[in-house]
């Protein structure tokens, strides 16, 4: 069974479009995250939710909006896509929001904006 | 504030020889430190973690890391490299600040190439 899954795996779209990436975890974890990995492999956190409540919101354009319908899901919606949004987006989850809890990562979604 | 510096962007080793990946961190509070591995086109997998217990931490696949507070380092080693170790490795720090949640700060990554 896949612990943290993301759909789609690949997403190719044009500038100005709106798209969503979905994430689901079956680990029973309380906390979920979105990370962005750029072309230089640099990883940076974007958002974190704990029990459907937003707890980390880094400096991310308003075009990005996370939504957590329940503890097991954290979706990422992106409006008015730009070329600079091209990246690999990783979802992750952890048992709690304490700093020592390890995070489990999904396989990533490669977004290409043309 | 926390930060991580991986001192080598690329490391090339021969199969069967030791691997050393260097990591220095900066943290205002007692940190937790992790090493993650990312194989090509895959997600990240936890290799090992340090959370203020034993300073020498053993992880999966024969990897280990030593936390040295005086040197603010958390270097990753493996005595004998295997072809399957070819991947990108990330050193990660997080601080014990409740307000920060579990915000991981990643180093820039070290790409390991293993030669036959």
DSSP secondary structure letters along B7-67? S-SEEEEETTS-EEE-EEEE-SS-EEEEEEEE-TT--EEEEEEESSS-SEEE-GGG-EEEE
Contacts of B44 (CB under 8 A, 6+ apart): A43, A90, A92, A105, B36, B37, B38, B90
**Residue of B51 and B72 predicted with greater confidence:** B72
**CA closest to B92 among chain A residues:** A43
pLDDT of B31 higher than 90 = no
Query: If you average pLDDT over residues A78-83, what whole number do you get?
Result: 96
Give residue B28's pLDDT band: very low, low, confident or very high (50, 70, 90): confident
pLDDT of residue B34: 93
Query: Looking at chain A, how many residues does it have?
Result: 114
CA of A28, closest CA in chain B: separation in Å? 17
pLDDT of B95 higher than 70 = yes
What is the share, in percent, of chain A residues with pLDDT greater than 90? 69
Query: If you average pLDDT over residues B83-96, what whole number do you get?
Result: 90
Query: If you average pLDDT over residues B15-20, what whole number do you get?
Result: 97
pLDDT of A23 higher than 80 = yes
Express each pLDDT in A95-106 by its tens digit.
887 767 888 999
Does B106 sit within 8 Å of A44, measured CB to CB?
A: yes
Query: If you average pLDDT over residues B63-92, what whole number do you get?
Result: 96
CA distance A81 to A95: 32
pLDDT of residue B100: 55
Q: Contact A12/A109 with Cβ under 8 angstroms? A: no
Query: If you average pLDDT over residues B76-90, what whole number do you get?
Result: 97
pLDDT of residue A40: 87
pLDDT of residue A50: 87
Burial class from Cβ neighbours inside 10 Å (0-12, 13-18, 19+) for residue A52 reads: middle
Q: Contact A86/A107 with Cβ under 8 angstroms? A: no
Chain B: residues touching A (Cβ < 8 Å): 32, 34, 36, 38, 42-46, 49, 51, 88, 90, 94-97, 100-104, 106, 108-109
Residue B25 CB-half CA count within 13 A: 31
């Amino acid at each position: 069974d896949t612990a943290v899954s993301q759909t789609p795996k690949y997403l190719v779209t044009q500038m100005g479009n709106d798209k969503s990436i979905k994430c689901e975890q079956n680990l029973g974890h309380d906390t979920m995250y979105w990370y962005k990995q750029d072309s230089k492999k640099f990883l940076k956190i974007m958002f974190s939710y704990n029990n459907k409540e937003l707890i980390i919101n880094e400096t991310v354009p308003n075009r990005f909006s996370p939504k957590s319908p329940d503890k097991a899901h954290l979706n990422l919606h992106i409006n008015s896509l730009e070329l600079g949004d091209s990246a690999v987006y990783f979802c992750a989850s952890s048992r709690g929001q304490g700093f020592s809890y390890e995070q489990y990562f999904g396989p990533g979604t490669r977004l290409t904006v043309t | 504030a926390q930060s991580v510096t991986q001192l080598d962007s690329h490391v090339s080793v021969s199969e069967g020889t030791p691997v050393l990946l260097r990591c220095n961190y900066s943290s205002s509070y007692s940190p937790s430190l992790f090493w993650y591995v990312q194989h090509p086109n895959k997600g990240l997998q936890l290799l090992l973690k340090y959370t203020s217990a034993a300073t020498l931490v053993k992880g999966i696949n024969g990897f280990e890391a030593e936390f040295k507070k005086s040197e603010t380092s958390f270097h990753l080693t493996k005595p004998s490299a295997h072809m399957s170790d070819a991947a990108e490795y990330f050193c990660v720090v997080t601080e014990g600040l409740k307000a920060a949640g579990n915000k991981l700060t990643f180093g820039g990554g070290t790409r390991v190439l293993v030669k036959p």
